[in-house]
A = this chain, B = another copy of it.
Amino acid sequence: MEIVSEWASHGGRQLVARHASEAAGGEMTFAVFLPPQAKEGPCPVLWYLSGLTCTHANVMEKGEYRRAAAEAGVIVVCPDTSPRGDAADDPAYDLGQGAGFYLDATEAPWAGRFNMKTYVTEELPALVAAEFPVDMARQGIFGHSMGGHGALTLALSLPGRFRSVSAFAPIVAPSQVPWGEKALGAYLGPDRAAWRRHDAVALIEDGARLDEILVDQGDADNFLERELRPELLERACTEAGIALTLRRHPGYDHSYYFISTFMADHVRFHAERLKS
């Protein structure tokens, strides 16, 4: 692993690191913020998964998470959203590079390198645990849009791994919306039974459980009705007895201006649940 950038920020350090990834079949880049408390000893770690078209850099530059993370003493790791470089790609913004959907693809040309589930839940955590002062017994996960889908599905799939889960404007039921139907079909093939393990609403219907979930959603989000459909998560959580806090915000869209407005709330939500 190589540190390619480092900045002092909010009493801690914002780092960008690069490493050779087996899961993604090439070089991968991620961001890590170490709060000032990381100088003293291990800190809880909060995984932020980004949305379509993003790299590690978008939330690092525009997400405004550092002040709250420094106050709470939480390490924040922001992975990329897909393999890069000579990995397979597609001209559309919602498939291929920048659109890994946090699953392991089984279909050509994606299989072999589009293993973002393995990358985010196995390879990168092992690297982060080896390189940074993280307390891996205290992990939280959150994300935006496709990354909200990632946070929800990975937490539902790995019971006990994450103490806290939240999302900004997540894709909650990819099997039922155009972005998800396109991506899951391309990466996993036409058998929709295989899609259910990568669909938060389907996972809950099939018995997966979380204690609680925090979701923020803008009501002026262009993708709300067609792609996000938080009412499907609301119904599934009600039926399953999962404590979902779904906050709808008048006038807010799908941008980082929305994310950054509620970022401190999310970091504090996680920090409270990650206290030792």
Contact = CB atoms under 8 A, between A and B. Distances in A.
Of A8, A61, A250, most buried by chain B (CB within 10 Å of CB) is A8
B62 A257 contact: no
A93 to B, nearest CB: 19
20 contacts: A7-B255, A7-B258, A8-B218, A8-B220, A8-B249, A8-B252, A8-B257, A8-B258, A8-B261, A9-B257, A9-B260, A10-B260, A10-B261, A61-B61, A61-B62, A61-B256, A62-B62, A64-B64, A64-B260, A67-B264
A59 B220 CA distance: 24
Contacts of A61: 61-62, 256
Interface of A: 7-11, 14, 61-62, 64, 66-67, 218, 220, 249-253, 255-258, 260-261, 264
Contact of A7 (B7, B14, B257, B264): B257
A34 to B, nearest CB: 12
A8 B218 CA distance: 9
Contacts of A62: 61-62
A253 B252 CA distance: 33
A66 B218 contact: no
A22 to B, nearest CB: 31
Nearest to A10: B261
